[in-house]
Structure 1
């Protein structure tokens, strides 16, 4: 299993598809996101899991370059970190190569489809697929296959074409893979444990809406 990334890269190149060290468009997006020095926002969160009944939750998030993202809430601490990886830090943490699959349509918008393949087994993910808007230079969707926590299907919605950070995010996930820490959802959250036992493997989603954005860029 440790040689899987190298085998995938070989198969891509053998099939005539050009593997790249880092796709130029992805690098441009990373440079744009790196221009954000700090930000803060109010987050509205909803959970869509069949056996979880949770009222809408709110939190404040703050980020400053070089420091961990902080989340402050009165009664819960669970927000999916992949939904908040605005700087693509996880993808860039370890060496990787990319494969450009060309132009595709996503909800009526032309995007560039890019595969990101780690070249080391140290990374938390085994492969990621990205849908990038080449004109607005925005990440519109990502599908991340993790090594231990299943698959994340993330979509990003922006308030305007020039926005550097999204206004809404939907994080779809495999309930059995993510191992939801239910104790972090708050005292007013109800869990149907019988239904959880009856349907241990299913899909869920978390919806995040960001308001009162304050962004400082260099």
Structure 2
């Protein structure tokens, strides 16, 4: 009986230690991201989705704490899917409003990563589950898989370079199901009309949005007007 009790106690202590480790890692990653109060970034965006006709274009991205984000190109606002999609990793980390659960380790792009699942404590949260692949040594999120309440699931793959110390990627690739997503108003003008002359309905297949950033201006201030209403 004593042996069983000690074994159970050891398992409990190990579980608590893992939970503390996950919480500490999430806190460290978020602390790096929180150093960025705002930024303006230049880059290029390309969209690969069957029902959207949108050539690659130069863009300017704007971010301001806590979760304001916009991409602008010469002819107007971006056409990223709206709703549950969040390019702001800090908002996905959720602060005190999530429970972190270990899901093991794996190797991603040749580097070991920790897999941590985040469960929101807010019943009204649009995000139902986030699975993060974190490079523990660099304290960077390499990949995020997100399940939302109203917009299905999507993935983000990040590659880092010059701005890794700020937690800001050089490249972001979004992968999403084209049938599940709500699109911003005005996107009908961008639909590939095909031969019928009518906009095609979204089909059940994957689409990707790739953003390559060429430079960031960090914590220099961003005018609220760029975000619209």
Q: What whole-Å deviation, never above 9, does each CA across 1:161-209 have from its counterpart, x for those lacking one? A: 645200110000011111334733866x634386944x72111111111
Within the candidate set 200, 205, 209, 1:202 is matched to 205
Instruction: Check conservation: 1:76, 1:186, Cα contact below 8 A.
Output: no
Q: CA deviation at 1:42?
A: 1.0
Q: What whole-Å deviation, never above 9, does each CA across 1:48-85 have from its counterpart, x for those lacking one? A: 11233321122212233357334333213223563521
Within the candidate set 157, 179, 182, 2:182 is matched to 179
Q: CA deviation at 1:93?
A: 6.8
Q: CA deviation at 1:24?
A: 1.2
State the number of aligned residues. 201
RMSD of equivalent CA atoms: 3.1
Change (3 A) 1:30 1:96: same
Instruction: Check conservation: 2:35, 2:166, Cα contact below 8 A.
Output: no
Q: CA deviation at 1:126?
A: 1.0
Q: CA deviation at 1:31?
A: 0.8
Runs (5+) with no aligned partner, structure 1: 1-15
Q: Which secondary structure state, in structure 2, belongs to the residue aligned with residue 23 of structure 1?
A: helix
Instruction: Check conservation: 1:114, 1:129, Cα contact below 8 A.
Output: yes
What is the match of residue 55 of structure 1? 55
Q: Which one has the largest radius of gyration?
A: 2
Change (3 A) 1:122 1:178: same
| C-alpha distance in 1 between matches for 2:214 and 2:34 | 21
Within the candidate set 102, 105, 115, 2:104 is matched to 102
More strand per residue: 1
Using the size of structure 1 for normalisation, the TM-score is 0.78
What is the match of residue 169 of structure 1? 172
| C-alpha distance in 1 between matches for 2:181 and 2:194 | 17
Using the size of structure 2 for normalisation, the TM-score is 0.74
Q: Which secondary structure state, in structure 2, belongs to the residue aligned with residue 207 of structure 1?
A: strand
| C-alpha distance in 2 between matches for 1:128 and 1:193 | 40
Instruction: Check conservation: 1:130, 1:142, Cα contact below 8 A.
Output: yes
